[in-house]
C-alpha cells in the first residue's frame, strides 16, 4: 500500500491581527511525517503567534491549519488530539514526582490504568529520567525539567510535536540530551515543529527551515537550498608546496568552480558545492605535481542567511 502524501501539518495563508498590528501575514508551510521543521525569526517576528494558531490556541483571522487533513480550530478536539505542545515555560508541578506529573498529564489526555502506566514508563525511558521517576520535580535541574516538560507532551503519542524553544536556560549537557531526544523522534515518523534561538540547533536538527520576519515567511528550505537562493558559495582553501598558479589554473577548469585565486600563499576557490568538488580538487593537485598540506571547506551557514534576510542576529 502506498504511503499517504497528506502532510502532518499544513498551514495555509494564516493571518492574525491584534488591533492595528499584523502579527501573522499570509503564512503557509507544511511539515511531513518524520520531518523536523524549524521556525526561526527575531523576537516579535510572529513565531509564537503562529504556533498558537497551529495548536488551536488562537483563532486565525484568515487561512486554516490542518493536522493530518483534519481542520484545527479553537474548539476542535479531533485535530488537537494529534498535537503534543511543549511551551517555553515549564508547565510542571514541582511538589509532585516525575512519575506523578506524567500520570497527571496522561489522565488529562484520557489515558487510564495499564496503558497509562505503560506509557509513563516508556516516556521516562525515552527522556532519560527513569532513575529519577520517584524524585520531586523541585529537586531537578533546569535541563531535567525541560526533558520532563517534553515528556508530558509525548504521553499521548502525538502525530505532531510542537517544541517552543525547548533548551532555553539549560546547561550544555542537558541541551545535548534534549537535542538527541528530538533527533530520535523523526525515526518514529513523528513530525516536529521546532522554534529556537540557537542557530546551531536548527543546523543540527531541522530537515527544513522557515524564516519568519515581521509576520511574513520570507524564506523556506533546507540549509543548502537557502544558501543557494542567496547566491552564497562555499570557500575551499588549499595549502600546498609548489607552483600554486598551476593548481589554480587546473581548478578553474573543474565544473562547479566559480573562481580560483592565489592569495596569501594559498589557493582559494569559490564553488556552489565544495564537498562534492573535493575529489576533483585532489586530482587536480596530483596532476599539478603538488603535495597538499591542508584542505579546508567553509560552507555558508544559516546564520549568514538569517542575517541577510532579517538584518539581525537570531539571539539579541
Cell of 164: 517552543
Confidence at residue 230, expressed as pLDDT on a 0 to 100 scale: 65
Residue-level length of the chain:
316
CA 212 to CA 43: how far, in whole Å?
A: 10
Inform me whether the pLDDT recorded for 3 exceeds 60.
no
Q: Write the CA distances from 93 to 139, 153, 297, integer angstroms.
A: 12, 15, 48
Lowest mean pLDDT among 22-31, 61-70, 264-273: 264-273
Confidence at residue 316, expressed as pLDDT on a 0 to 100 scale: 46
CA 195 to CA 209: how far, in whole Å?
A: 10
CA 52 to CA 162: how far, in whole Å?
A: 10
Q: pTM for this one?
A: 0.79
| pLDDT per residue as tens digits for the range 56-102 | 999 999 999 999 999 998 888 889 999 999 998 999 999 999 999 99
Inform me whether the pLDDT recorded for 285 exceeds 50.
yes
Task: Please state, rounded to an integer, the average pLDDT across all residues of the chain.
Answer: 90
Cell of 64: 486554516
Helices (H), the chain: 47-54, 98-108, 113-126, 142-154, 172-185, 199-205, 223-229, 244-252, 274-287, 302-310
User: Nearest CA to 12 among 30, 28, 31?
Assistant: 28
Inform me whether the pLDDT recorded for 2 exceeds 50.
no
Q: Write the CA distances from 258 to 136, 231, 248, 261, 299, integer angstroms.
A: 60, 11, 12, 10, 15
Confidence at residue 1, expressed as pLDDT on a 0 to 100 scale: 38
User: Nearest CA to 100 among 124, 133, 131?
Assistant: 133
Query: Domains in the chain, ordered, with CATH?
Result: 9-228 (3.40.50.300), 233-299 (3.30.70.100)
First-to-last alpha carbon distance for the chain, in angstroms, is: 49
What is the residue whose three cell numbers read 525547548?
166
Q: Are 153 and 185 spatial neighbours (Cβ–Cβ below 8 Å)?
A: no
Confidence at residue 190, expressed as pLDDT on a 0 to 100 scale: 93
Q: Are 276 and 236 spatial neighbours (Cβ–Cβ below 8 Å)?
A: no
- Residues above pLDDT 90, as percent of the chain: 62
Angle at 256 between CA 250 and CA 260, to 5 degrees: 45
Pick 76 or 48 by higher pLDDT.
Answer: 48
Amino acid at each position: 500500500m502506498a504511503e499517504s502524501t497528506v502532510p502532518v501539518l499544513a498551514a495555509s495563508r494564516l493571518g492574525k491581527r491584534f488591533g492595528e498590528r499584523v502579527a501573522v501575514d499570509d503564512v503557509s508551510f507544511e511539515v511531513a511525517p518524520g520531518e523536523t521543521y524549524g521556525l526561526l525569526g527575531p523576537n516579535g517576528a510572529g513565531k509564537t503567534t503562529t504556533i498558537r494558531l497551529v495548536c488551536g490556541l488562537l483563532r486565525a483571522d484568515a487561512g486554516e491549519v490542518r493536522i493530518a487533513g483534519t481542520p484545527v480550530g479553537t474548539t476542535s478536539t479531533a485535530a488537537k488530539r494529534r498535537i503534543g505542545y511543549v511551551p517555553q515555560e515549564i508547565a510542571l508541578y514541582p511538589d509532585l514526582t516525575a512519575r506523578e506529573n506524567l500520570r497527571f498529564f496522561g489522565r488529562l489526555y484520557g489515558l487510564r490504568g495499564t496503558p497509562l502506566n505503560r506509557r509513563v514508563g516508556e516516556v521516562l525511558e525515552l527522556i532519560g529520567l527513569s532513575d529519577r521517576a520517584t524524585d520531586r520535580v523541585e529537586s531537578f535541574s533546569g535541563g531535567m525539567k525541560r526533558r520532563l516538560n517534553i515528556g508530558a507532551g509525548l504521553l499521548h503519542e502525538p502525530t505532531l510535536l510542537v517544541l517552543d524553544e525547548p533548551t532555553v536556560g539549560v546547561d550544555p549537557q542537558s541541551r545535548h540530551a534534549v537535542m538527541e531526544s528530538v533527533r530520535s523522534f523523526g525515526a518514529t515518523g513523528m513530525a516536529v515543529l521546532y522554534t529556537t534561538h540557537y542557530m546551531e540547533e536548527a543546523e543540527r536538527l531541522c530537515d527544513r527551515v522557515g524564516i519568519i520576519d515581521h509576520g511574513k515567511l520570507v524564506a523556506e528550505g533546507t540549509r543548502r537550498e537557502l544558501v543557494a537562493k542567496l547566491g552564497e558559495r562555499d570557500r575551499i582553501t588549499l595549502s600546498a608546496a609548489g607552483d600554486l598558479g598551476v593548481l589554480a589554473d587546473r581548478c578553474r577548469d573543474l565544473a562547479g568552480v566559480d573562481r580560483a585565486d592565489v592569495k596569501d600563499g594559498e589557493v582559494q576557490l569559490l564553488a556552489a558545492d565544495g564537498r562534492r568538488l573535493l575529489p576533483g580538487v585532489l586530482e587536480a593537485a596530483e596532476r599539478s605535481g603538488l603535495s597538499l598540506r591542508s584542505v579546508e571547506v567553509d560552507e555558508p551557514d544559516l546564520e549568514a542567511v538569517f542575517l541577510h534576510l532579517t538584518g539581525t542576529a537570531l539571539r539579541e
